[in-house]
Structure formats: structure tokens, C-alpha cells
Chains A and B, each alone.
Chain A
Amino acid sequence: MERLTQRILPASIAIAAGILVLAGYLLPVPFLTAIRDELVRWAVILAAFAWILGFFNLLRVHLGQMRRKGGLYSFVLILSALFTLVLTLLASLNTPLRFVGDWWFQYVLSPLQATVFGLIAIALATAAFHLIRNRREVGALIFLISALIVLIGTIPLPAPVGTWLAPLREWWMSVLATAGIRGFLIGVGLGTLLVGLRVLVGLDRPYSER
């Protein structure tokens, strides 16, 4: 009985649902397309439940960490999460509160996200510096030359350098870099295809505890 509920039933559900959705995408049959749409709708609802589960898990972990050293950060995280949750829910129901929700989004969430994204520039520059210092090999050299061509080519330089650097950057991006990225994307696609197939034939069962 345990084998049925722990292994056979979850594997059957995953394989059946996966094959039905895949058939809905690959075969132009209206009946299969309707089943695919319904199953994808179910997955979206389940993903919302999964997010809520993740939210409670985050709260539980940080409630446990509050008593330890550096617990203030966990307290701030819980407070900001609960405040944002309540505020956003109230703002979606009550029109006068929408102003406060918008204010919170515009002056707290948006600057934080934008600045953290901006910090990537510092991290990337540091990484490039470490690459020059620690990895003196052909691959690293090609990487840096390519980055420099694209970076300097972006600047509108005067003639005579500007007249050949901008077309060189254009050719570099549209031929050489595109060829590399295309091979990389096809490789990632083939990897995804293989992992998906392994799940659909039941060789990989990440949903089963054993």
C-alpha cells in the first residue's frame, strides 16, 4: 500500500499529466489543446499554493533565527514581509489604500530592486579584475577581448577609430557572438529536452521521497 501511495501513484500522475500536456502542445487536436489548457491552469493554481507554502517556510525559518545572533535582520525581514502582504492585499480591495500600496511599491521596492541590479556592475567589474589577475589563459584572453570590443564599440568615437570600430562591433555581435550563443542555447535546449524526457518516462522522480 505504501509503495502504491509513495511511488506508483505519484509517478502515474506525473507521467499521465506530462504526456497529455506534451501531446496538447505538439498535436493540433482541439480536444488535446483543451485538456492541456486546463492542466496548465491547474499547475498555475498549484504554483500559487507552492508560493504560499514557501512564504510560511520562510517565516518559520526566520522565526527560528530571531533568537540567534543577528536575529534583528530576521525580525526586519518578517516585519517587512507581513507589512507588505497586508498592505498589498488591503490596497487591492480598498481604493483609498491603493495610494499607500503604490507609495510603498514606488519608494521602497522599486529603489531597492533597481539599486541591487545596479550593484551587479560592481560585481561584474570585480569579477573581470579577478579574471585578469588569476586566470592567464587563452580562453580568458578571448573573453576579455570580446568584452572590450563590445564595450568600446558602444562608445561613439570620432574617426578614424570610430569608422571601423562600430562596424567591427556590429559584425562581432551579429556573427561571432550569435554563433556562440546559438550553440549554447541549442545545448541548453537539448539538456532541458533530456531532463524533461527522463521525468516523463519516470526515470527521474523528484516528487517521490525515495
Chain B
Amino acid sequence: MTPDLAGLIVGTLLTLMVLSYILGDNPFYRLALHILVGVTVGYGTAVALTMLFQTVLPALGDPAGRLSLIVPVVLGILLLFKGFPRWASWGNLSTALLVGIGAAVALSGALLGTIIPQARAVGPVWNWLQGGWIGLLNGLLMAVGTACALLAFAFAVPRNPSLRRLWNGMVGLPGRLGRVFLMIAFGAAFATALTASLSVLVGRVYTVVEGLQRILSIWGL
């Protein structure tokens, strides 16, 4: 038996085990899912360990590199204490550094990578006018839709009754319109995800059929 044929049999079996979920939750599906989790975690750990060795080992030979690695490696070892409830607090400093840097990266990413580019992409009026009156209409629709969809997330309400009435009047109708735009967007995203996953599913079913045909032909059936 060649490695490719063995792989084909293993891959076909695993695919069939996962696809058995179509008939309902069953032991074969659960077994395949546990294999998937195990293999994914094992692979991820191997990548993390390889990355650590590749970063730490070359730096040990260089005095300056050694110095720059002392802090993260010591903090990393302290982080491992989180696995022992008695000494878990030793890892707080490492978690704090990770959370602080993570928050800053997420904040700058949200600002520079999402808010500013998305707000800019709505575009100025002269850009809309390049497409004639249809372009202007589409541009207006997009600007109004974006603003209304954003207002659909306004959950805070002023405590003062008169201010609350004013707020509801200002945000109520645009917020409801925004929910319509959000539903349109979610419907489109749903259809796109369905199309993508359906093409992968068809590909897997095709592979299973091909695999079964090859296995049966080897057995002379």
C-alpha cells in the first residue's frame, strides 16, 4: 500500500465521520471532532515551540540579544505558573504586559485600520458626482445607511425625561432605518458564507466519492 493510498483511505474515513453529523450527533462525529481538536492543538503547540526555539536559541550567542530576551523569557516562565492555582498570581505581571500591549495594538488597529479607512471610504460629494446623478444617489444612500447603521448601536439613554424624548426623536427613526441596513448586510454576509461553505462541502463530497471509487477499484469491485 502506497502512502498516498493510505492517506486517501484515512482522509476519506475522517471526512465520512465528520459528514455523519448530517444524520445527527453520533459517536463517529464526536470522535472525528476530538481528533481535529487534538491535532490542531498539537500542531499549534509545535509551531509555538519552534518559534520560541528559533527566537531564543540564536540570541543566546549574542550578548545584546541575550539581554533583550531576558525580560520576555522570565515573564513567559512566570506565566506558566498560572497553571498552578497556588502560584497563579506570579503570572499576573506577564498577563498585565500581554493585556496592555494587546489593548494598544487593538486600539490602534481599530482606529487606523477600521474607523478612519471606513469613514474615508464613504467618500466626499465630488467623488459621488463623478458617477452622475446615479452616483450621487448611491453615495447619499451609502452615507445615510452607514450613519443610520451606526445609530442602531446607540443603546445609552439620557436620564432627564425631556432630554430622553429629544434623544429618542433624533435616534429612534434613524436607528430603525439602520437596523434595516444591518439586516440587508447580514443577509448578504449569510449568503456569501453559505456559498463559500457549500463549495467546500461539494469539494469534500467529490473527494469522498473519488476516494471510494479508487479504494473499490483496488479491491476489484
Chain A interfacial positions (CB closer than 8 Å to B): 5-6, 9-11, 13-22, 25-26, 38-58, 60, 72-74, 76-85, 88-89, 92, 99, 103-122, 124-125, 128, 139-140, 142-151, 154, 171-173, 175-190, 192-193, 195-197, 199-200, 206-209
Contacts and interface: CB of A to CB of B under 8 A. Distances in A.
B30 interface: yes
24 contacts: A14-B96, A21-B105, A26-B112, A49-B77, A49-B79, A55-B42, A74-B34, A76-B31, A77-B37, A84-B46, A110-B11, A122-B201, A143-B183, A146-B187, A146-B188, A172-B184, A179-B146, A180-B184, A180-B185, A189-B110, A196-B103, A196-B104, A200-B100, A208-B96
A9 B96 CA distance: 9
Nearest to B69: A45
Contacts of A199: 99-100, 103
B64 to A, nearest CB: 12
A182 B79 CA distance: 38
Interface residues of B, number: 117
Interface string B126-139: 00000000000010
Contacts of B48: 47-48, 51-52
Given A88-B47, A179-B145, A195-B103, A108 B191 contact: no
Interface in B38-54: 38-52
Nearest to B191: A150
Contacts of B186: 143, 146, 180
Interface in B108-157: 108-112, 114-115, 118-119, 121-122, 138, 141-150, 152-153
Interface string B63-101: 000001101110111011011000011001111111111
Contacts of A76: 31, 34-35, 38
A64 to B, nearest CB: 14
